């Protein structure tokens, strides 16, 4: 009864704040501190007033933030908790441009604390370590356990070195803004004869073209080689697109070697699978991605790549949902491809289904809309599919950067990015 009186006098928000930010008592089931003698765990609060629900989102990428936005606008009786190992949102589509176009890295990073403050969500910077079998508890790398009513896994993917520790330590990757800065510093300081890019997919081609632009600006003459293990670059994409990109890479002086892979690189010496040796070299690894390690420990169905298999409502099981690059949503004979557009709409769909479940409404099937895709290259040429139509040249380049400005976080970042891109376009 005492809790009820406190609730009536001070409001639910005051009680929960006491529970979260109190003193030394650490015994509540939520994993947060509680010090006031009247403070109860969230499970006890649920039992008495039966309205507060907790949603935990793992991963603050496009999918996670899209879900948090829906929950903040429509979930007035929810506590949303965002967990991410980084302290800032990283705008990944522009990372290769840090190398060639020299776009400042700070325009691609936005603090999660500021984002969550606007969304009225709680942010925890930590690494997800394990999920309970019923999906109602998340264990973090720090040892903290967080109980939840709903769990959304939107942790994306990371570079896959296929268990080769030596390559992971001796090559560069492009998973984050800090990775882009590290690589930019390396090519600024070092003067290499050979720049090897492992992987001939979207990312590898963007990296190679931006390296070419960087070397052109610095008036350096070096070889840039894309090394692709498959018989051709760009995997399952249309042949006309492969031909267009191949011709453009050749025009930029970028070599493409298919059917090969990098076996080792050490002390600036890189060896390919055919025995070719490249001295004074630097290697950027973009030869595949995988899901975070904790995903492998979840007892659910996964693809060989580690992507979580979800149902038509993006549910893994019970009250556990997933969205973004870490999932496999069945589309025809395979998984829906990884893209920013799909990640955003999947995050929004998961949030709506969580709200529907809370309100005892039926779940809504996820129906993806595919606006297309673009492969931008740093020489201001690109190709792709927009609304079902093939496009080439400057139009897809303009479309790509327009979308980047629109989807970036923070009004100041958007304005600065737009002005910078316009300035470079005029030049």
pLDDT digits (tens, 9 = 90+) for 34-43: 444 334 444 4
Domain boundaries, the chain: 2-158+291-358, 159-290+373-426
pLDDT value of position 295 = 93
Which residues does residue 328 pair with via DSSP β-bridges, in sequence order?
A: 309
Q: Does domain 159-290+373-426 have CATH number 3.90.550.10?
A: no
Identify the pLDDT of residue 425: 73
210, 378 contact by CB (below 8 A): yes
- Tens digits of per-residue pLDDT, 282-305? 999 999 999 999 999 998 999 988
In which band, very low, low, confident or very high, does the pLDDT at 218 lie, cut at 50, 70 and 90?
Answer: very high
Helix (H) or strand (E) holding 128, with range, is strand 128-131
| Mean pLDDT to the nearest integer, 48-59 | 79
Q: Which structure tokens are listed for 30?
A: 């939520």
| Whether the predicted pLDDT of 165 surpasses 50 | yes
- Residue 277 C-beta-side C-alpha neighbours within 13 Å: 5
385 pLDDT higher than 70: yes
Helices (H), 190-277: 202-218, 239-251
Q: Which one, of 247, 284, 281, lies nearest residue 266 by Cα?
A: 281
Q: Same topology for domains 2-158+291-358 and 159-290+373-426, yes or no?
A: yes
Query: CB of 157 within 8 A of CB of 289?
Result: yes
Q: How confident is the model at residue 189 (pLDDT cuts 50, 70, 90)?
A: very high
Phi, psi torsion values for 129, nearest 5 degrees: -110, -40
Which pLDDT belongs to residue 10?
35
What is the rounded CA–CA span in Å between residue 140 and residue 148?
13
**pLDDT in the model for residue 31:** 42
Which residue(s) pair with 309 in the sheet?
A: 328
User: Is it the case that residue 419 has pLDDT exceeding 90?
Assistant: yes
**Domain 2-158+291-358 classified CATH 3.40.640.10?**
no
pTM: 0.86
Q: DSSP class of residue 93?
A: G
* pLDDT score for 426: 62
């Amino acid at each position: 009864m005492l809790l009820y009186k406190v609730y009536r006098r001070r409001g639910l928000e005051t009680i929960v704040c006491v529970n979260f930010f109190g003193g030394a008592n650490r015994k509540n089931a939520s994993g947060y501190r509680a010090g006031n003698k009247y403070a109860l765990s969230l499970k006890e609060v649920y039992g008495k007033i039966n309205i507060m629900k907790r949603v935990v989102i793992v991963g603050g990428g496009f999918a996670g933030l899209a879900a948090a936005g829906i929950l903040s606008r429509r979930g007035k009786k929810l506590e949303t908790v965002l967990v991410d190992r980084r302290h800032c949102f990283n705008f990944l589509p522009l990372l290769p441009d840090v190398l060639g176009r020299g776009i400042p890295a700070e325009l691609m990073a936005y603090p999660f604390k500021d984002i969550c403050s606007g969304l009225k969500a709680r942010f925890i910077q930590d690494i997800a370590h394990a999920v309970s079998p019923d999906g109602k508890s998340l264990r973090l790398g720090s040892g903290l356990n967080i109980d939840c009513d709903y769990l959304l896994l939107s942790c994306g993917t990371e570079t896959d070195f296929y268990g080769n520790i030596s390559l992971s330590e001796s090559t560069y990757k492009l998973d984050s803004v800090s990775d882009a800065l590290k690589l930019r510093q390396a090519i600024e300081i070092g003067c290499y004869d050979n720049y090897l890019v492992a992987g001939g997919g979207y990312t590898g081609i963007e990296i190679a073209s931006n390296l070419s632009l960087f070397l052109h600006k610095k008036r350096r003459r070096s070889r840039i080689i894309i090394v692709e293990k498959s018989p051709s670059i760009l995997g399952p994409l249309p042949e006309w697109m492969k031909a267009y990109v191949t011709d453009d890479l050749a025009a930029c002086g970028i070599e493409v070697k298919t059917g090969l892979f990098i076996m080792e690189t050490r002390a600036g010496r890189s060896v390919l699978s055919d025995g070719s040796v490249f001295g004074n070299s630097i290697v950027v690894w973009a030869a595949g991605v995988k899901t975070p390690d904790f995903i492998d420990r979840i007892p659910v169905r996964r693809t060989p790549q580690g992507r979580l298999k979800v149902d038509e409502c993006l549910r893994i099981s019970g009250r556990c949902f997933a969205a973004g690059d870490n999932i496999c949503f069945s589309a025809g004979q395979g998984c829906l491809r990884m893209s920013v557009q799909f990640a955003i709409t999947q995050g929004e769909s998961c949030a709506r289904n969580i709200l529907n479940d809370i309100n005892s409404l039926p779940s809504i099937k996820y129906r993806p809309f595919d606006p297309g895709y673009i492969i931008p290259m740093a020489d201001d040429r690109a190709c792709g599919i927009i609304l079902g139509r093939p496009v080439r040249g400057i139009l897809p380049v303009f479309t790509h950067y327009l979308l980047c400005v629109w989807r970036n976080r923070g009004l100041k970042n958007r304005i600065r990015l737009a002005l910078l891109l316009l300035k470079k376009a005029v030049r």
